Amino acid sequence: MKANNSIGCTVTECKFHAKDESYCSLEKIQVTKHETTAKTKQCTDCGSFEAQ
């Protein structure tokens, strides 16, 4: 997979992780939130995540 140097990622369990580098291989990702108003980074997730 080709690494997208604009999207850093350390989630090696993701199908889109660039394997040899700490990057995502997608052209863009969707960031989602758990709360009505996200006030901390813990309230957000990568909505593009897919398990391997």
The pLDDT tens digits of the residues spanning 12-52 come to 999 999 999 999 999 999 999 999 999 999 999 999 999 99
Which range marks the domain in which residue 21 is found? 4-46
pTM for the full model?
0.86
What is the count of structural domains for the chain?
A: 1
pLDDT bracket for residue 1 (50, 70, 90): confident
Tokens standing for 22? 């700490």
Q: Where are the alpha helices (H) located in the chain, listed in sequence order?
A: none
Q: Would you give the DSSP letter of residue 40? A: S
Q: What is the pLDDT of residue 19?
A: 93
DSSP helix/strand/coil, 41: helix
Specify if 12 maps to a domain.
Answer: yes
Specify if 52 maps to a domain.
Answer: no
